[in-house]
Amino acid sequence: MRVEFVTTGTSDHYEAIKATVINRTDGPVDAVTLRFSDLLGRKTVSNPNFREGVTPYIWRYGDRTEWYVYQPTKADYAQISEAINDYLDVYREPKLEQTGQSENGLTMRGM
């Protein structure tokens, strides 16, 4: 899998994250672009220039790359991470239940 911040039309204005599922031999299998506006919505900030709030994004200004006006919280990062994990769940191998069953369905018992 590859995860990267991407622009959606404005140079140096990274308002989305793109997750790409990659097959080791065949290359990209599928990709999804998750916009911060869809995941986090509009955020209120204390800056009086943004009374209506801002939609989070990362920008590059000179030598600096940082979040613009709004700094995401741990909960925001968790929400982004959860959205990526939900997408990846489609491609993950099913986990065996921790009931003592082996892959062939037999129950293992202690001797």
Domain enclosing residue 14, as ranges: 2-89
| Cα dihedral 23, 11, 61, 38 in deg (nearest 10) | -70
pLDDT at 98 over 80: no
Answer for the pair 47, 69: CB distance below 8 angstroms, yes or no: yes
Q: Is residue 109 part of a domain?
A: no
Average pLDDT, the chain: 87
**28 found inside a domain:** yes
Q: Is the pLDDT of residue 108 over 90?
A: no
Query: Which residue has tokens 């900030």?
Result: 45
**How much of the chain, in percent, has pLDDT values that exceed 70?**
85
Q: Is residue 94 part of a domain?
A: no
Contact yes or no for 53/41 (Cβ under 8 A)? no
pLDDT at 2: 93
In tens, the pLDDT along 9-56 reads 999 999 999 999 999 999 999 999 999 999 999 999 999 999 999 999
What is this structure's pTM?
A: 0.78
Total count of domains within the chain? 1
